[in-house]
Amino acid sequence: MPEQMGMIKNSLFAIVLTLLFGGLVVGFVSAQQPTPSDDQVNAIAKQLYCPVCEATPLDVCPTQACAQWRELIRQKLAEGWGDQQIKDYFVQQYGARVLGTPPPKGINWLVYVAPLLFVVAGVYILFRGFRSWRLRAQQTAISSPPSPPPDGEAGLQDDYIKQVEDQVRKS
Amino acid sequence: MDQTITDPAEQSTRTGHSSLWRILAWVALFALLVVVAMVLLRKQQGPVAVGQKPPSFTLTTFDGQQIGPKDMAGKVVLVNFWASWCKPCEQEAPDLQSAWEYYQPRGDVLFLGIAWTDTESASLNYIKKFGITYSNGPDLGTTISQAYRTTGVPETYVIDKNGNLASIKLSPYSSLSEIQSAIDPLLGP
């Protein structure tokens, strides 16, 4: 009888231990961040450019270096970093050239301002051109004397007949 | 109907304004062209030239140490740009480490490794793999490589004790003796 009691005690102890250990493992696994998917990584990677290759977005870049950078994005996402934080980190590490568009500071402002300035200047030049063209046309209209009213179809025909007669006479 | 300009003074003022705008437009266009030309020229320049003072920089190493111009003054400095993903860099890494072990006891030679566009974990693995003991750090923002106008990795710049650039190697060193032949003439008797 005492042996049976001992066995039951041992069994109970083993069950409790297993449950406790199992619970710990489940708790540890559920506490871990899920591994970010390739789609999540590529969503950020396509906004960044490979700092080594020419004009190649990070999501389609086939080099080993790019694979390392994509893994770095995955690691940062797993740590709970946001998109902007990851982009800022890449700029800090590899320079602004990793961004698809240059940050609007320093000489980079030219990229944003110059096209606008060219459009405004173009519109202004066109406006001035049209205005001076219209003014010139108006001034010509004012300064030139009124042309004599045409005599009509008959007058034109008379001139024509006269020219023909002159030619005939000469020949 | 538009009012025509009949007053000569008014006409003269308008002509003056028009000329001013035209001059301003030309000046702006010229300034823009100068800026574009300067950027293009800078991009077309090769690496820094031998005999000149190379750009000064401060390297923050992977272990947080700061190495700046004061630490380099009066020493022969070898600046090596590398990356963990660069296969030719692996070729020269053991020779660079051997050279460092050879020169380190002298105290007047400094080796600096600069990890170019690399991830920190990969860089540290590379350092561990080749047992590199000289100072190494990341090229944060690629500012150092831009200042040196590097064209890739590996690239090595050797600076003499006066702070002038003594030699440039735009490919991996092939042997320890090649590194020694770049450094020994700068050490003096």
What does the pLDDT look like over B129-183, one tens digit per residue? 999 999 999 999 999 999 999 999 999 999 999 999 999 999 999 999 999 999 9
- Comparing C-alpha atoms, which of A100, A99, A104 is closest to residue A89? A99
- Pair B116, B142: CB distance under 8 Å: yes
Whether residue A142 lies within 8 A of chain B, CB to CB, comes out as yes
Residue appearing with tokens 């500012």: B143
Give helix then strand counts, H and E, for chain A: 6, 0
What ipTM does this complex have? 0.74
Are B140 and A64 in contact (CB < 8 Å)? no
Question: CA-to-CA distance for A168 and A170, rounded, in angstroms?
Answer: 5
Least confident range from A109-123, B116-130, B164-178: namely: A109-123
**Run of H or E including B166:** strand B165-169
Give this prediction's pTM.
0.69
Question: CA-to-CA distance for B45 and B41, rounded, in angstroms?
Answer: 6
What does the pLDDT look like over B73-106, one tens digit per residue? 999 999 999 999 999 999 999 999 999 999 999 9
- Comparing C-alpha atoms, which of B143, B135, B87 is closest to residue B117? B143
Query: In the A/B pair of chains, how many CB contacts fall below 8 A?
Result: 48
Q: Which residue in chain A is spatially nearest to B24 when comparing CA positions? A: A121
Q: Which residue in chain A is spatially nearest to B123 when comparing CA positions? A: A68
